[in-house]
Structure formats: structure tokens, C-alpha cells
Structure 1
Amino acid sequence: MDGQPTAEVIEQIRDIPLYRASLAKGYFPVLDKPDIARGFPENWMTPRLAAALEAGEAEYVLSTGTNHARMQLIRPPYFLLHSYYRLWSEHPDIAGTWESGCRRVSLTTVLATEHVARVGAARRGVPPAQVPSFEDRWLDDRTCYLNLRLDPAGWERDEVVRMLREIEAARASHPQGAYHLDCSGYHLAHLLRKVGEWGLWDDFPPPASIIHAYEYTPVNVRRFLAQHFDCPVIDLFGSTELGYLYFSDRRGGYRPYLDGMSVELHPVAPESTIHELIVSSVRNPFMPLIRYRSGDCVRTLDGTPDPDRIAQFCGRRKELLPMRNGPVAQGDLDRCIGELSPDVFVYQLQLTGPTEALLAYTTFHGTPLGAAESAALADAVGALTGRRCRLVHHAHIPIGKSGKYAWLVDAD
């Protein structure tokens, strides 16, 4: 049957209580996040897992909670980091930076920084500092985290100078002065704007390679980054509970990275060419996830449910905008904006009524779009969403409490 685990996978999950009913029926339904949490950890406990926890070969962790409520997980120590390092070391465009010993500087949500500081403090047996120092923000000897503020638009000059100084400190240990920049595309774009505003380019050493991996990166943000850096800029897709599943090459095409995994694509609605990811993974031996609904949506090159033909990771299922002709995803609105106005930076579609919407936006240059460009974009967004749309320029759109931007909100 479509998507059902192989005999080899079944042998690896046979002792896990969560899967007993499915094994008895000979059929594995799609697994949702509440199914993972229900009865945790007893639903996952096997003699092997109990022994691994006792020996420190498995640990309890919480997901960061940036895309959904925080979930408790069990996994090997540094599971996600090792997945990242392996992918970096094998990537066709950036393996050289791994081999040369580049340090990894991470510029992303403050939640991620705080998580790293908590992990480090627990490892040292001390309480986490209220404001973690540079030394507190190293995940291991290769990776440090920079951001200490929820909203990067609010970074002040002294914070930017500190982050540039920390980049330089990480870079200085490399024989050729190279470093690898891991980031949220939005956070790096904010940093570039601040560096330009305060004339700090001489203090910003260019990275040898860049991966943006923490959230959907809009077309315009990706274009903005590519204009500023003469190095590979790679998109990496994955999640806390699964590890990494796909990566882009420097030309923007996606390739699967499915060691220990398989993927099904299910249409989110009848006849829709937006598909959600259903993932089976035994990569984490302590919490193998079989037919797990990740909540992420994709479009393929030809609209078919072929996991090898993914063209775009287009947002999350819970954030789809329902339409009479089928749902609209963040990636659809993003493509519409990117084709008509490369100057739009942060945007948010606000539903102001049953047939009306407002597109709030900022620009990279800080000034509103011209009248003709605004009118064309309002018409295009209106045609896409089936709502009368007007545009409103803002100097600032606040980031969400997760450290990520919401592209769609109900104004009520």
C-alpha cells in the first residue's frame, strides 16, 4: 500500500508501543503531532531506549517551538547538529568550507540562541546566564550563535558592532580567514541593512558560504542576499524532529537528502497542486516517525506528487488561505510579490473582511513603492486571493514571538 513501511523499517519499530496497533492491523495511518505527544514517553519506551537514556546515549529535548507548540522529543545528543554537519560536508557547492575547517556562525532567532545557551549551561552544571556571553553561545567548538534580540529590526548600532566583532573572532581562527554563515534569511537581510545604514562594511568580513535554514526565505530576500555576497547561498529544509530532508544547490534547484527516510506528497485539497509532506524516518533510532505529517507544504515542477520534483517549499499547511478554487500558500503570494516588486522586504497579508485584504509591507530602501507599482501589486494580490486588496507601507512590521514573521493574519 502507498506509503506503508518496508519490512526492514517494521523490524526497527516492532518494539515501540506507539506502533503496536498499526502492526496488528498491518496498516500505518498518517501520524500527527498530537499522536507523538500522547502518552509520552511511555508510548516510545523500549528496553533499548531505557538503556540508552541511562547511558546518556539518548536525551530528552524540547523542540524550539518556532513553528508549532513545543514538543518533547527523545534523540541522540547533537542529533540535529550532526545531521547538519554531515550535509554541509557532502554538499556539492560548500563541502570545501567544511573540509577547510571553517567555523559556523549562526544568525537566527533569539529562541535558538537561548536554546544553545541552556544546553551549554546544563552541560557545565550551572544555571543559564540572563544575557549569555559570547563564550556561553558556542554549541560546540565549531558553532556559535550571535543574536540576542527578538526583533532584528530593533538591533542598535552597538549590537551590530558586537555581532561583527564576534564574526571576526570566529573567522580569525581559520588559516585563510574563512567562515561559514548559517542564518535565517530575514535576519541576515536586516543585518545587511544595518551595516549599510551605519557604514560598517569594512567590519563585515564576507563569508565563504551561506546556508539559510530556519524559515521560509522570500524570493526578494534571497535576491537581496545574492546581490551582496559572492559565495554559494544555499537553502536547507528540515525540522527539529526529523533533521534535514532537502537542500538547494547554488542555482536554486532542490535535491533530496533522505538517508534513513522516505517522503510521500499528499494534495492538501482535491485537485490542488500544493502538497503536504508525509515523512517516514528511522534516522533518529529512538523516535522513528512513520508516516509523520510534518505540516510543511511544497509545489513540484509539474504539479504531480513526486518527491524528487520539488520546486518550492511554499509554507505551512496551517497557514494556507482557503479559496473557492483551492488554497493559496505563502509561496504563491511571495512569487506574486517577487515578480512585480523586488523592493518589498517584509510583508503581511491582513484579512480585513470577507472580501477585503490589506497588504502591509516594508521595503529594503525604506520608502514606499511608487503609485503605478503599488496599483499593479494590489491588482495582482487581489486576483490571487479573490479579495479587494490595498497596500500600506510601514517603516516596521513586528516579528512574531517565535522570532519568525507571520505572512497571513486575520485583522479581527
Structure 2
Amino acid sequence: MPPVATVAPPAPADALGSALRGTLQVPFYNRADWQAASAAPSPVLTDLPRITKGELRAHSPHDFLPRGVELQQLEQTGAIEEESTSGTSGASVRVIFSRTWWAEQEARALHRHPLIGALLNANPGTRRAVFTTPGCSGVSCFARWLNVDQRTQGATLFVNQTRIPFTLPEEKLAQMAAETVRWAPTFLDVDPVHGAWFALYCERQGLRFPSLRFILTSYEYTSVVHRRILERVFGVPVINLYGSSETGHLLIDHPEGGMTPSPETALLEVADADDQGIGQLLVTTLTNAYLPLIRYEIGDHVERRGDRWLVHGRRRDSLRSNAGRLLTTRQVDACFEDQGGIAHYQLRQAAEGSAHLGLLAETPGAGLMAQQATLVVRLSALLGMPVTSDVVDLITPEDSGKFRLTVRMGGHPE
């Protein structure tokens, strides 16, 4: 991961027009429906077709590159980076962007938060330590061991190399803590599950990092359970950053609640909203010439409140109440707001509507009897169906390496 870049100038006022002009030489958009919609004298975003994940998977990267641009030549000249998405919503997708794009779009999002913006302006080379699911990308990989020099890129240290944090032995956690102390990061960049488990180790050992100013959570949904642990142990603000490999970072926590967008990077819409105002997020990207996306179905539920946004979690992770009402990960997670002692959880809903809650305790061997009793009542009321619970020793991630807080058995409910 490159160091945080300087902030680029804002996108032009005619953001949609600019985005559409960027598709004129792109083979994917040479279809009758796209041509007809974009040919209107004043195209309206909501009148344009959408791009599904299946379409992106089938056509990226080649059909999204402008005509005359050859992938092999871009690779040979070192003009691009190529990544694969995590595959949270299915098979992974190949994503292409310029060498500087990732750092630039991340910087735009980070500077939207006043604390982070001030710190980065004072020191653009601010050090970070990353705790997330390792990917086999040459940086960190759970299939092979890399020394600390191999896991250091510029101002970034990639700390963990283990796919499931709950199986880490104490000596490995001690090594991770020692590396972090030596690195003296200004912030931790964490998958919330990995970050919370590491925080619990630090709490047991009485460890703090004096250089730490904030914690950035990303990669998957940040539960109130994870946030509570990170804030308690490290005593610094926990700030959530939302986005994806294919779109870049789109939203960041606002100090007064909700999330604020990064408008230079993308246009955002709420589509197919229900009577709660919750719908799926569509993204129109503005800055990646090698993967221009118009009204892309990113796969998440969101809600818009004025100029702020609330992320509700993956669409595939949504549940259904007995009355057929959509229940998002965010709505389920709200039941845990005042329930301490829990390191992680997963609520699995059967096809017929009942559900089972697995709780992973902060302290091994803890029965969490009071928490179970409270949560069974709350979740049963939310679902309108019976909920059972137990305490488990392990919760495993998906093949993507990400964890799911809520799971609907038997397929997607929508």
C-alpha cells in the first residue's frame, strides 16, 4: 500500500457528463440500451441502465478498457496495478487502476474527516499498521511466512499473516504487538474482527501504543461489538471507511454521526428503497479511466439522511422478519449496543425464519448467560420468530476471508 497521497482537485461540476464521456470508447457500453440512454441531450442518471456484479465479473478488465488500450502493454510499462476483489458476493473480479489511483482516491476520502485530514496535512508520511485478512498479493499471505521487511511498504507495516485471528497462539500475538510497538504507527488500519481480537490481547497484557491517534476500520462491516472493544482498549477515535476495490473509498464516518461521501470519486444513489428508506447502493465512478462504472450495483444496503449516509451491510447478508420485512445487518447489530463481553458473533437464520445466535466471548470460558438472555428476547422480537443461542469457541470466515455477522440460510432473501 503506497503512502497517503496529496488531495487531487475536485471533479468537474458536470460529473455525470464527464463520466459518460469516459465510456464513449469503452466496448462494454457499446450496447443498444446504453447507447440509447446516454444519447439523450441531457442524460438523467436514474434513466441509465445498471451494471450488475455478474456483468462486471464477466467483462472486467478487457471490455472496460478504452479501445486501443491493451492490457498487456499497460502491464509491461508498469502503468497499472491489478487486484482481485475479495469475492464476498461471489467469485472475485479482476480490477485495474493506475499506479497512483488507489492512493489518490483514498486520500480524498480520508481528508473528508477533520481529525485525519489535519494529521495527514501535518505529516503526509504518517505511519500505519495494517491488521486485516492477508491476501496472496506478494505483500502478505497466510499460505507462506514473510519477514517484517517484506511486509513493510513505505509508511505501511502489514502486521498479521493469519486468516482466522481466533486461532492465533499467544506467542504470535506477542510478536505482532512487538512489531507494532517498534513501528510506532499514528493509526491502525484494521479489519474490525482482526483488530478487535488483537486489541483484546493488548488489553490482557496492558499494552498501549503512545503514538496512536486513531483507528481506521474497513474491509467489512464494523459491529458495535468491535468498535466498543477498540475504543475501550486503545482510547482513540474509531473511524469507519467504506468502499470497495472496484470503486475506491466512497464514505467515511462524520464526527457528528453518519458517513460523509467523497464526491470527487463517485456519484452515489439509493435504489429500490423500501418504506424504511433502505435500498441498494448504486455507484458511478469518476476517476478510474481503466474501469469506468455507471450505476454499479455494489451489493450493499444503505440509507440516506440529508447529506449523511448509513451503511446497512451486504444485501446477501440481509434477513427477513416473519412479516416479510427486510432486516439488515445494521438493524440486527443495534441489538448489541449495550451488551459487553462479546468479541464477535454470528446470527444464522434458517429458511423457515427461526435463527440461531453464536457468541464468541472476550474471555475464554465465559458463559455470557445474561447477554444471551437479553439478546434472545431482542432478536426474537426483531425477527418475529424464535431465536436460540450458545457460546462458541470459533467462528470461521467465508472463502473471501471476511466474516459475516448475519447469514440467511438457503440463499439470498431478495
TM-score (ref. length: structure 2): 0.83
Q: Residues 288-327 of structure 1 correspond to what in structure 2 (within 5 A)? A: 288-301=292-305, 308-310=307-309, 312-323=310-321, 324-327=323-326
Pairing 1:20–2:20 present: no
What do you get for the CA RMSD once the two structures are aligned? 2.7
Partners of 1:257 and 1:393 in 2: CA distance: 40
Contact between 2:89 and 2:299, CA under 8 Å: does it hold in 1?
Answer: no
Question: SS at 1:227's partner residue?
Answer: helix
Partners of 2:198 and 2:56 in 1: CA distance: 37
Pairing 1:343–2:341 present: yes
Contiguous gaps of at least 5 residues in structure 2: 1-13, 39-47
**Among candidates 282, 285, 288, match of residue 281 of structure 1:** 285
Distance 1:49 1:168, change over 3 A: farther
What is the CA deviation profile of residues 207-226 of structure 1, one whole-angstrom value per residue up to 9, with x for unaligned ones? Answer: 12211111111112212212
**1:49 match:** 69
Moved more, 350-359 or 26-35: 350-359
**2:262 match:** 257
**2:355 match:** 357
**2:156 match:** 143
Question: SS at 1:110's partner residue?
Answer: coil
Question: SS at 2:242's partner residue?
Answer: strand
**Among candidates 180, 183, 192, match of residue 170 of structure 1:** 183
Contact between 1:150 and 1:401, CA under 8 Å: does it hold in 2?
Answer: no
Opposite residue 332 of structure 2, the aligned amino acid is: L
Partners of 2:257 and 2:396 in 1: CA distance: 29
Opposite residue 293 of structure 2, the aligned amino acid is: L
**2:82 match:** 60
State the shift of 1:8 in Å: 2.8
State the shift of 1:257 in Å: 1.0
**Among candidates 53, 73, 82, match of residue 104 of structure 2:** 82
**1:226 match:** 231
Partners of 1:224 and 1:24 in 2: CA distance: 51
Opposite residue 32 of structure 1, the aligned amino acid is: T
Identity %: 24
**2:94 match:** 72
Question: SS at 1:289's partner residue?
Answer: coil
Partners of 2:262 and 2:284 in 1: CA distance: 13
Contact between 2:106 and 2:249, CA under 8 Å: does it hold in 1?
Answer: yes
Partners of 1:59 and 1:206 in 2: CA distance: 31
Question: SS at 2:56's partner residue?
Answer: helix
State the shift of 1:410 in Å: 5.5
State the shift of 1:89 in Å: 4.7
State the shift of 1:406 in Å: 1.9
Contact between 2:25 and 2:66, CA under 8 Å: does it hold in 1?
Answer: yes
Partners of 1:61 and 1:221 in 2: CA distance: 27
Distance 1:318 1:82, change over 3 A: same
Contact between 1:107 and 1:182, CA under 8 Å: does it hold in 2?
Answer: yes
**Among candidates 246, 250, 253, match of residue 245 of structure 1:** 250
Opposite residue 207 of structure 2, the aligned amino acid is: W
Opposite residue 387 of structure 1, the aligned amino acid is: M
Partners of 1:398 and 1:206 in 2: CA distance: 32
Contact between 1:330 and 1:407, CA under 8 Å: does it hold in 2?
Answer: yes
**1:35 match:** 55
Distance 1:213 1:19, change over 3 A: same
Q: Which has the larger share of helix?
A: 1
How many pairs are equivalent?
Answer: 381
Opposite residue 368 of structure 2, the aligned amino acid is: L
